[in-house]
Amino acid sequence: MSSLPLVFNAAVGRPIAIDAPAWSTLDFKRLSLSAMPKLAGVTSASRLEVRPIPQMVSSGVREIDTLTGGFPRGCLTEVCGPASSGRTSVLLAALAAATQRQEVCALVDISDAFNPHSAAAAGVNFEKMLWIRCGGLLQKSGSPQRHRDTEKNEKIQKPVEQALQVTDLLLQSGGFGLVIIDLGDTPVKMARRIPLTSWFRFQRAVEHTATVLFVISRVPCAQTCASLLLKVSGKKQSALSCQLSAEAPAHAQLLNGIQVQGELLRSRLERKPAGSVTTEFTTKVRVG
């Protein structure tokens, strides 16, 4: 068995074998240089194109638009916050704004929590909205001995898996102005189990398109894939808190709205730190 000297070619990424007689006569350096392919297809770093600034669209809330400049097209925008913090109100406002721009929108509703009456009051055009209610076609477990917790986990996990598949299909289909993933009621543990590769895939799918990918959740899920991360929370000194101390009877009370505080946690669209930029707005009740 004849052994051939191997020259590792970094450009090709694999070793090249050279004949022994030739190896003994030729200069190693000259041979290795001649065997090395030209780097014609590699672009130098100085010539790399700068990513263009994404086009911004209205989020439907004036204060958020003032804070963030709107929602960027071709990017992933995430709004997180606890229950009763105003996430869904922001969602409806974005949906209404997009449908009134005559854009076709899709809502991937993981926990089937969408209220059509609230949406109608917000001004959503239902003809332009595709509603996907995950959680259907759940197969019942065949063996009765299965642990109850396992079944419960499957019931939660299945809609998330469905949502990821559905979102993939929607983004690959293209043409949607706004695609919303509603993880608002999904347990934090389950939402964090969504692999980062899924978010990267979604981000790549919407890149260079006119689609706004919008996610609402309890905690940040998309991590570095989110170009815009907004945290909302119900303000403690709210109108409701004032009412809490009121002595009026229940039938004279009225839930006037939620005072929402929004904080911009991350924005890849601008270089300056945005950690403490906040805004406040109040939603109105009661509809539906």
Site for another protein, residues 78 to 97, rule: CB under 8 A? 82-89, 91-93, 96-97
d(CA 219, CA 198): 17
**Binding of another protein at residue 207 (CB under 8 A)?**
no
**Binding of another protein at residue 150 (CB under 8 A)?**
no
d(CA 114, CA 284): 17
Among 133, 192, 201, 266, binds another protein (CB under 8 A): 133
d(CA 260, CA 195): 30
**Binding of another protein at residue 266 (CB under 8 A)?**
no
* Residue with smaller CB distance to another protein, 98 or 225: 98
Phi, psi dihedral angles at 228 (to 5 degrees) = -140, 125
**Binding of another protein at residue 74 (CB under 8 A)?**
no
**Binding of another protein at residue 151 (CB under 8 A)?**
no
Site for another protein, residues 1 to 40, rule: CB under 8 A? none
**Binding of another protein at residue 72 (CB under 8 A)?**
yes
d(CA 102, CA 108): 19
DSSP string, 5-31: -EEEETTTTEEEE--HHHHHHS-HHHH
Segment near another protein (CB under 8 A); pick from 3-11, 39-47, 198-206, 264-272: 264-272
Among 124, 183, 222, 229, binds another protein (CB under 8 A): 124
**Binding of another protein at residue 50 (CB under 8 A)?**
no
Site for another protein, residues 216 to 245, rule: CB under 8 A? 233-234, 236, 239-241, 243-244
Among 9, 16, 26, 118, binds another protein (CB under 8 A): 118
Query: Least distance from C-beta 191 to another protein, angstroms?
Result: 15
User: Scanning the structure block, which residue is given the tokens 């009225």?
Assistant: 254
CB-CB neighbours of 273 under 10 Å: 9
**Binding of another protein at residue 276 (CB under 8 A)?**
yes
d(CA 112, CA 131): 10
78 close to 230: Cβ distance less than 8 angstroms: yes
